[in-house]
Structure 1
Amino acid sequence: MPSKIILRSSNKDLMLLVGILSPLQKCVSAIRLLAYGVAGDVVDEYVRIAGNTSLQCLKNFCKCVIEVFEPHYLRRPTVDDTRRLLQIGESRRFPGMLSSIDCMHWQWDKCPMAWQGQYTGGHQGVPTMILEVVASYDLWIWHAYFGVARSNNDINVLDRSPVIDELLEGQGPEIQYTINGSTYNIGYYLADGIYPEWHVFVKTIPRANMLSEKRKNIKKVQGRI
C-alpha cells in the first residue's frame, strides 16, 4: 500500500543527509499522539522525531489503518453478511435480529475549556463524547458514529446518525422471518428503552434475556475497543 511505503520511507534533511527513522519510531510517535492528544513536537524527546515528521507519521498511520480494516469493518453488510447475521440471531433464539445498538461515552481529557459546557452532562461530571455502535455477537462492528457532545442523549445521536437511513428510504436488505405465526420483512436491532417505538428496534426491558443479550454484546465491544 502507498501509505505503508511512505511510513517506511526516509527523508533527507537540509544537508541532503538521509535520516534513519525506523518504522517502530514512526508507529510509536503516531500512537502516542493518538493516545494522549498532544501536539506533534511533544514526542520529540521520547522518540527523536521532529513535530512535522510526527504529524506526517500520524497521517500515514491513520491511512494504513483505514486501508487495512475498512474492507471488513465500518461498512454496510452485504447480502451474505446479512444472511450470516440473521443465522447468528436465530441460533441465539432472536430470529430477525441484525445486531445490537447502543451508545457509550468516552472521556475527553483534553477538551478545550470553551467546549466543556456542551460536552459535560449527566452524572459523570467530566467532558465526554458519545460513540454510537452497531455490533454483532462476534464483535463485527459495521457501524460507528462518534463525536457527538455528551449533552445529547441516544435519541439526539440517532437523529443525526445514518444507521437506519436505508431502511427509512425503503432500501434495506430483504428479510423474511416468522414469529408466533406472524411474518415480518424487516430486521431489528436490540436496543435500550430510550429508543423510539419503531419497528426496527426491539426493546430489552420486557424480557430479561433480551436485556442480558444486548448488554453482553455491547460490553464485549467496549472491552475490545
Structure 2
Amino acid sequence: MTHANLMNNYFNPNSVYTKEDFSRRFQMRHHVFERLLHDVQHVNPYFRQKRDRTGLPGFSPHQKVTIELRMMAYGSPADSMDETHGMFESTCLDTLAEFYDTIVQFYKDEYLRKPNQEDLDQLIRKAEDRGFPGMIGSLDCMHWDWKNCLTGWQ
C-alpha cells in the first residue's frame, strides 16, 4: 500500500503532486532521482525488489531510495519512517548503509576526486562573480573585515 501511494503521489503519469512539488520535497529534480534510482539498482542488488520470507513483495526500489533521501534531506530519524513508510528502524539503517556504500562506489571517480584545473577555474570564476576573488586556498576569509567578529578571533 505504501508503494502504491508513493507511486500515485510522485511517479505515475497523472501523479497527485507536480514536478515542482517533487523537487521541493526531494531536494532534487525528478530526472535526477530517476538516474540515481537506476544507478543504485544497477550496482547493488539490494535495491531491487525481492520477496520477503512470507512470499510477499518487499520494499520497492522507489521506497528504499525515497526513504533514504528523506532521511538525508530532512535529517529524519530512522524510527520515524515506520509511521509514514512502514519501514522499521533497523531496516532503514541497513538500507542507509547500503545506499551510502553504493553511492560512494558508483560516483567516487566522478565526484570524490581532487579537482582538476577545469574544476578550479570554474570554482574561481563562480567565486569572483559572487564577490569573493581568490577563494581557492583561502576559505577562512580572515582577510575580510567583519565588524561583529568575536574578539577572540580578531
TM-score, L = length of structure 1: 0.34
More helix by proportion, 1 or 2? 2
Which structure's CA Rg is the greater one? 1
TM-score, L = length of structure 2: 0.47
More strand by proportion, 1 or 2? 1
